Amino acid sequence: MIAARIASGALVPLVKKLFVREGPGAGLVGRPVRISSLVSFTGEKRLLTEADLRRLTAGLLRTAVGSAPVGERLVEPAEEEAVSLALARTLTRLGDLEMDDVQAVRLGPQALAKALKAADGDGTRDLSADGAHLHDALLLSACLHILHFFTQRSTFVARTLVEHSGQLAEAIAKTDLLLARHPSPITRDTLFEERYVTHIAQKHGMLAIYGIDLTRSPEQWPLGTAYLSLEADLGQDRHHAMIRAEYAFNGRDRVLLRGVAGSGKTTLVQWLAVTTAQQDLSLLNSDAPLAALIGRVPFVLPMRTLTRQHDYLPNPDEFLHRTRSPLAGAQPAGWVDRVLSSGRGLLLIDGIDEVSKQTRERTRRWLQDLLVTYPGNVWLVTSRPSAVRDKWLAAEKFSELSLAPMSRQDVASFIHRWHNAARSVSTPEQQELLDGYEASLVTAVRTKKDLARLATNPLMCGLICALHCDRHGYLPRGRKELYEAALSMLLARRDRERDMDAPDGIDLTEDPKIRLLQRLAYKFILNGKSELDRSHAERIIADTLPSVPVAAEQGDAAAIFQHLLLRSGLLREPAVGSIDFIHRTFQDYLGAKAAVEEGDMALLVLRAVDSQWEDVVRMAVAHARPREGAELLLDLIRRGDSSTSTYRRNQLHLLATAAVEHATELEPRVRDMISERAGALIPPRSRREVRDLVGIGSVALELLPGPDRLSDEEALLTAHTAILIGGDAAIALLGRYNRHPDPRVRQLLCNAWHRFDTAAYAEGVLAGLLGSDVYFEVTTPAELAAFTPLGGRSHVRVSSAFDTNQLIQSLHPAGVTHLWLPAGQSVTWYWLAAFPRLETLTLDLGAETLDVSSLGAHPGLLHLRIAKAQSTVGLESLADTVVVTPYEQDPGIVPGV
């Protein structure tokens, strides 16, 4: 009866994870394979730990217990964990069986279960009679699916066991059919959940790479091709640590992630949702960044969609309806509640900044209620930096992270990915051109200051790549010119250069399209919305058409709007009846243009304290005539001066400072007033001020002081600000900090190498850096090559596995006293004898087994530091000569930080 309650949907994932995947090219073989060679929890490259197996059997047990009829109890609740542990222990005996897969299938599931129990000894001796019966029933069901799995392997000698294969498949099919006819609530949940995660993986598994619009180019790309891992600032005042964004949940289950427009927040949400839905077995490695998401159910909750037509935020059972999921009507009653009550949810709440201030406060109360009601789930909330105050969710124990501007390596990686994607849909002739474009653009971004200032996030990098290709290597200089060129490419040149006729009978030039779109964008902004009903958008177009007669002559509002939706490349319909801009930055740029043309400067100053209007104000300065722009900046300064709130005053003064770079002409008097206000915020004295100054960019960099007359904390924050802003100008400033007495400052400089040009940073910063108490980080072959001319350092950290001979030749081993290596650098450690003065060795360990017995031969080694290991061999041999210290290592810390 118990076996008949468990569908294959619950057992197949367990069985798949018990055995290793076949490599590419696997085919039929002429002889059987021993079972012990197939399991995934033994051997050198094991994928499944004992703890992972216990989690899997615990989930299977919950399914079995939950499928019992109301009032019926299979086992006492206090004994459930003991049954789960016993089942996990019995299944591990698969690694000890001498029989092969063919023998096991011939035995049948009952005999295989009996053999596993015999190998386990008396594994159920501590269980009650009910517990032992439940253990045996679950083991029998698992064995049935294990044997069927063997028959489905491509390497199985299927021709010899057709009859057995058919019998096993028939038994499984009958069980599933029985459950389909008489499903229990748990079974219905399992079947629906399988459909749901498949839908999530498909819906969010594609991503638009902006600007790839070549012949036969698809509109979207697989997320694996388009996704770029970016850095996030942990926001820890003392450590100043950076991690890769996908490590956000390493040791954290509640995260508030801040990022400017275009920085990749929504793309990260998609990545997390898809990764969770796919349940990739490889993530079970102990050092995998997303291991905490295994077994969870993702819910993607865009705030603008949740609040589009409702004044209240949804209860869990409304999640799918509010996000307009096509599966909303099929979900079993109470399914989301059961998922969250069991602590299996991943809630991705995207875009707090895209709703009004009042809604943000309601959102915080809504989150508080959900957190109290459903503990144990994983939460990510995203927002633009200034939309919510610091520690907005601190009372709810959220960790705050901020997406950092892209480093040089990130930019180069993005350019390479973009051109790779473009090459995949290009002709041979186009591919040859793209090779040249990629090389010249990488050089341009490294050498041209204005271009490097723009290439700070994925959206801007996509625009730059697209325009560079579209204009055969020519690029505009400023942000305003970049957007103008992008709009020209999308609204006019794209269709014209592809020889497209007007497919809908409407033929509009660039100017009327912009006028209609900017009016639409401004209405979005005035309404505080990032998403509107289609009928509302059509009414806006209808109101605007009389002032754009060339468009009014070609169709009514519905037809003109449909043309803009299909042909502009700026609008999209994410769900039927709902309209938004392809990216918020285009909405802000066009809305600012409309505000300037309508003379709404006073309104811009009034709304400047609203984070949703910050980019609108900055772009308005770019669009305005010189006198209008100067007056707008002065009004921002005056309003800041008169504010009784320090936060508001700083916010307005920083906004004016950030907007200065967009002014094409400005009186020295106005510029001096703005610089004076900005000087009051420099040097930065808090993490919040660092983030604000980084948002300003190169203008702030010019105001940052040298280390003289700064406290140690101010020096640390100032250096951190310069590192995040980046560029060649930052190298000149950081070079002044390389002899600072505080080792935290110098360690930060050592760790920032990867964010700059390798040779320039080595010469300008590292060459003169005092390094007797800080680790010099080496991550790439280029850095290793540049390290040699530095003359060697006593403390060296190597963050990637290099050839051992390379390390000996490059690190000046005679001077190294402290060495930090990945544990996978070597199998044996005899080569460390080339480092005669080595005193302290630190090893970063993942899931691998570490053999340190050969370290006993090193004459000078006094201290060994090892990250928590699955198993370590040879420590006993070091006991008399070396002090061994375990330490906790966060694998998400970015090499270089």
**In terms of DSSP H, where are the helices of 448-497?**
449-454, 458-470, 479-488, 494-497
Contact 779, 754 (CB under 8 A): yes
Pair (168, 216) in one structural domain: no
Q: CATH number for the domain including 429? A: 1.10.1900
Give the pLDDT mean for 511-524: 93
Is the domain of 238 the same as that of 362? yes
Mean pLDDT of 196-217: 72
Check: CB of residue 476 under 8 Å from CB of residue 484.
yes
Q: What is the mean pLDDT of residues 54-74?
A: 72
pLDDT of residue 761: 92
Classify residue 699: in a domain, yes or no.
no
Does 95 fall in a domain? yes
- 30 half-sphere exposure, CB direction, 13 A CA radius: 0
Question: Which structure tokens are listed for 575?
Answer: 């769900």
Question: Using alpha carbons only, what angle is made at residue 705 by residues 704 and 709, rounded to the nearest 5 degrees?
Answer: 145
Of the pLDDT bands very low, low, confident and very high (cuts 50, 70, 90), residue 895 is very low
Cα(90)–Cα(510) distance, integer angstroms: 71
Averaged over 39-62, what is the pLDDT?
70
Are 32 and 105 part of one and the same domain? yes
* Percentage with pLDDT > 90 across the chain: 22
- For residues 705-733, average pLDDT: 90
Looking at the 3D structure of the chain, how many domains does it have? 4
Would you report the helix, strand and coil content of the chain in percent, each value rounded to 5? 55, 10, 35
Kindly state the tokens that stand for 857: 């031969």
Task: Decide if 530 contacts 304 (C-beta within 8 A).
Answer: yes
Report the pLDDT value the prediction gives residue 160, as an integer from 0 to 100.
Answer: 52
Same domain assignment for residues 444 and 427: yes
pLDDT at 498 over 60: no
Residue 304 region, left (φ>0) first, then alpha (ψ -120 to 50), else beta?
alpha
Band the pLDDT of 891: cuts 50, 70, 90.
Answer: very low
Cα separation, 853 vs 169, whole angstroms: 50
Q: Tell me, what's the pLDDT at 101?
A: 65
pLDDT of residue 219: 59
Q: How far apart are CA 153 and CA 28, in angstroms?
A: 9
Residue 590 lies in a domain: no
What's the Cα-to-Cα distance from 452 to each of 23, 330, 455, rounded to whole Å? 43, 50, 5
Q: What are the tens digits of pLDDT across the range 346-377? A: 999 998 887 877 888 899 999 999 999 999 89
pLDDT beyond 80 at 553: yes
State the average pLDDT for the chain. Answer: 80
889 within domain boundaries: yes
d(Cα 831, Cα 855) in Å, to the nearest integer? 10
Determine which of 134-148, 340-354, 490-504 has the lowest per-residue pLDDT on average: 490-504
- Per residue in 827-852, pLDDT (tens digit) is 778 888 889 898 888 887 654 567 77
Instruction: Round to whole Å and give the CA distance between 349 and 257.
Output: 10
- Domain boundary at 420, 451, 475, which? 475
* In a domain? residue 297: yes
Most confident range, picked from 51-55, 200-204, 240-244, 290-294: 200-204
Which value, in Å, is the radius of gyration of the alpha carbons in the chain?
31
Q: Which domain holds residue 799?
A: 775-897
5: pLDDT strictly greater than 60: no
Above pLDDT 70, what percent of the chain? Answer: 80
Q: Could you tell me if 372 and 254 lie in one domain?
A: yes
Burial of 428 (0-12, 13-18, 19+ CB in 10 A): exposed
Tell me, yes or no, if the pTM score tops 0.75.
no
Q: How many helices (H) and strands (E) does the chain have?
A: 38, 20
Residue 150 CA to its chain's centroid (Å) = 36
What pLDDT was estimated at residue 896? 37
Q: How far apart are CA 532 and CA 440, in angstroms?
A: 41
| Same domain? 173 vs 300 | no
Whether 228 is covered by a domain: the verdict is yes
- Position 289 scores a pLDDT of 67
Nearest residue to 612 (alpha-carbon basis) of 533, 501, 528: 528
Task: Describe the strand order of the beta sheet including 297-302 as a list of residue ranges.
Answer: 242-244, 231-233, 399-403, 254-258, 378-383, 345-350, 297-302
Give the CATH number of the domain where residue 300 resides. 3.40.50.300
Band the pLDDT of 187: cuts 50, 70, 90: low
Per DSSP, helices labelled H in 185-318 are: 185-203, 223-226, 265-278, 303-306
Predicted confidence (pLDDT) at residue 897 exceeds the cutoff of 50? no
Same domain? For 178 and 281 the reply is no
Q: Which residues of 260-269 are buried (b: 16+ CB within 10 A; e: fewer)?
A: bbbbbbbbbb
Contact 10, 189 (CB under 8 A): no
Question: Is residue 698 one of the residues assigned to a domain?
Answer: no
pLDDT tens, residue by residue, 658-678: 888 888 888 889 988 988 888
d(CA 545, CA 549): 7
pLDDT confidence of residue 378 = 94
The average pLDDT across 230-239 equals: 65
**Of 167, 182, 197, which one is at a domain's C-terminal end?**
182
**Domain boundary, last residue among 475, 504, 536:** 475
Unique residue bearing structure tokens 């920085």: 263
The stretch 481-508 carries a mean pLDDT of 68
- Count Cβ atoms within 10 A of the Cβ of residue 676 and give its class: 0-12 exposed, 13-18 middle, 19 or more buried: exposed
User: Is 627 within the bounds of a domain?
Assistant: no
Higher model confidence: residue 881 or residue 565?
Answer: 565
Taking the C-alpha atoms of residue 363 and residue 368, their distance in angstroms, rounded to an integer, is 9
28 or 428, greater pLDDT: 428
- Please tell me which of 28-32, 191-195, 599-603 the model is most confident about, judged by mean pLDDT: 599-603
> What value does the mean pLDDT take over residues 97-113?
76
Whether residue 240 sits in one domain with residue 370: yes
Do 147 and 109 lie in one domain? The reply is yes
- Contact (CB, 8 A) for 18 and 40: yes
425-437 pLDDT, tens digit each: 778 888 888 899 9
- pLDDT score at 156: 52
The reply to whether 418 and 394 lie within a common domain is: no
Same domain, 231 and 295: yes
Closest Cα to residue 460, out of 664, 697, 271? Answer: 697
What phi, psi does 232 have (nearest 5°)?
A: -130, 140
Is residue 617 very low, low, confident or very high in pLDDT (cuts 50, 70, 90)? Answer: very high
Report pLDDT for 278. 83
Mean pLDDT of 241-245: 77
**Cα 101-102-107 angle, rounded to 5 deg:** 95
My answer on whether 391 and 414 are in the same domain is no
Which pair of structure tokens corresponds to residue 663? 């002014």
